[in-house]
Structure 1
Amino acid sequence: MEVAVVTVGNELLAGRTTDTNATWLCERLDDRGVTVERVTTVPDRVGDIARVVNEYRAEYDAVIVTGGLGPTHDDLTMDGVAAALGRSLETHDVALAWLEENGYDRQDLASGTTDLPAGARALHNEVGVAPGAALEDVYVLPGVPSEMKAMFETIADEFEGPPKYRATVVADEPESALVERIADLRDGFDVTVGSYPGESVRIELESTDEETVEEAASWLRKRVDLV
């Protein structure tokens, strides 16, 4: 399963808020065997949100959008997603009923709080107010980290892929000296290879086949100077 993550917010692009949501989502998706192919941040503009969602939903199995939910003037994510999917926004009766069952009076809710794209499935906000939505493999989650995490866990089972196996080899050599051996490794084994330099070079191997990873790591350890 291949997924794109889209985070929304002018404050992210201005550097005023650190985008921890994308990192957390990537980790959780990776744990479930899902490959994240894109992480993109867009401003609070309907056109930008719609364009990116449309592009990514055509390329990947699912798009997760986080941020910009609620009834305030700059909460435009639902508008953007609705535009991308060619849907209107309308009051979602199930979302409204759920909030009322959980102690909220509809008269106290700001106008637009439960407006979701027509036909969407409401994703209830267990630790906040604004609901999320799921429609046509597009999932819309809040931007508040605690709300986003809690909501994602309610849909986590909808994201899965084959388990990934990893091995790490730490080499006491310059990264430039390892180029040919890493190329031979890639040619000889069906593994993904990443090298990360520092005081030493950490070489990460990954595959959906555990035996292949172990064989590749063993081959490499015999051919590099280990820390």
Structure 2
Amino acid sequence: MLLLVTGPIADCRDRGETHLGTRSEGLDMNVAVVTVGDELLAGRTTDTNATWLCERLADRGVDVERVTTVPDRVADIARVVNEYRAEYDAVIVTGGLGPTHDDVTMDGVAAALGRSLEDHEEALAWLAEDGYTRDDLAAGTAELPRGARALHNEAGVAPGVAVDGVYVLPGVPSEMKAMFETIADEFEGTPTYREAVVADEPESALLDRIADLRERFDVSVGSYPGESVRIELTGTDEATVADAAAWLRERVDSP
């Protein structure tokens, strides 16, 4: 089971879109993303990590079913991680790594897993190769949950971990992205294909045609209103998605 945590709690699907189809079959790995940080909840920092992770995971055929942001509190982190690791194949957690007083993500994850924190010799060896001695490091920098696999921070200092299906990554976007790429192959699902059709009509006027499309083609449909309506078609067969998009384009008014 994998657990991915980064920032405040939210549903990846609750972003103002109307989803008119069901989740595509064949997405055989599901993940929760947890982002950690008081600054995210206060609106002082935009949570770009969750969006980036959702996109990368979707590209790999992995279904992200939950995105949650939690404050810098050990009890909240532990509760959410513990809940999600029982429900999802993996949990990815980002943020709250480092030596400052509010960097408590490792404490929360360790509490969720019932493990103590201890100096990780492999992480210390990596840091030494990067020029950091034990005396250079702030207290707790390399303290990781007992028995965890350390993830080297190639773009920063604080290491991440993988343990019991929970992946803990830094909150700094450049560090998070670099670390995720080292474990990306551990997140695999059925490849999916997407095409978008833009309609210059009210969303309510499109419902009958979308219902007809869903009857004819084995695709999932998402409707995203704005100045125009973007209708996104998703499926596991590339030809079917292309045929469905062509069929719909012939039946809507283009901008």
TM range (shorter): over 0.9
Q: Please report how far the alpha carbon of residue 224 of structure 1 lies from its aligned counterpart in structure 2 after TM superposition.
A: 2.5
- SS of match in other structure, 1:220: helix
Q: Please report how far the alpha carbon of residue 22 of structure 1 lies from its aligned counterpart in structure 2 after TM superposition.
A: 0.9
For the pair 1:3 / 2:31, whether they are aligned, the reply is yes
Q: Please report how far the alpha carbon of residue 186 of structure 1 lies from its aligned counterpart in structure 2 after TM superposition.
A: 2.0
* Aligned positions of 1:70-81 closer than 5 A: 70-81=98-109
Counterpart of 1:207 in structure 2 is 235
Q: Please report how far the alpha carbon of residue 218 of structure 1 lies from its aligned counterpart in structure 2 after TM superposition.
A: 2.7
CA distance in 1, matches of 2:115, 2:189: 30
Q: Which runs of 5+ in 2 are unaligned?
A: 1-28
CA distance in 1, matches of 2:151, 2:212: 48
CA distance in 2, matches of 1:132, 1:210: 36
In terms of fraction of residues, the more helix-rich structure is 1
Q: 1:184 aligns with which of 190, 207, 212?
A: 212
- SS of match in other structure, 1:78: helix
Q: Please report how far the alpha carbon of residue 198 of structure 1 lies from its aligned counterpart in structure 2 after TM superposition.
A: 2.5
Letter in 1 for 2:74: V
Which stretch of structure 1 is more off in the superposition, 28-37 or 61-70? 28-37
Q: How many residues align?
A: 227
* Aligned positions of 1:10-89 closer than 5 A: 10-89=38-117
Letter in 1 for 2:239: E
* Structure 1 segments (4+ residues) deviating >6 Å: none
CA distance in 2, matches of 1:190, 1:103: 55
For the pair 1:122 / 2:144, whether they are aligned, the reply is no
CA distance in 2, matches of 1:49, 1:41: 9
- SS of match in other structure, 2:135: helix
Which stretch of structure 1 is more off in the superposition, 201-210 or 168-177? 168-177
CA distance in 2, matches of 1:220, 1:199: 19
Normalising by structure 2, report the TM-score.
0.85
Q: Which runs of 5+ in 1 are unaligned?
A: none
Q: Please report how far the alpha carbon of residue 104 of structure 1 lies from its aligned counterpart in structure 2 after TM superposition.
A: 0.6
CA distance in 2, matches of 1:131, 1:171: 46
Q: Please report how far the alpha carbon of residue 183 of structure 1 lies from its aligned counterpart in structure 2 after TM superposition.
A: 1.7
CA distance in 2, matches of 1:186, 1:55: 34
Q: Please report how far the alpha carbon of residue 136 of structure 1 lies from its aligned counterpart in structure 2 after TM superposition.
A: 0.9
CA distance in 1, matches of 2:75, 2:178: 28
Letter in 2 for 1:114: A
After superposition, give the CA deviation of every residue in 1:44-68 in whole Å (9 maximum; x if it has no partner): 0111101111111111111100000
Normalising by structure 1, report the TM-score.
0.96
Q: Please report how far the alpha carbon of residue 173 of structure 1 lies from its aligned counterpart in structure 2 after TM superposition.
A: 1.8
Which stretch of structure 1 is more off in the superposition, 181-190 or 201-210? 181-190
Which stretch of structure 1 is more off in the superposition, 211-220 or 59-68? 211-220
Q: Please report how far the alpha carbon of residue 23 of structure 1 lies from its aligned counterpart in structure 2 after TM superposition.
A: 1.1
CA distance in 2, matches of 1:199, 1:96: 53
After superposition, give the CA deviation of every residue in 1:96-129 in whole Å (9 maximum; x if it has no partner): 1111122111111111110000110000111111
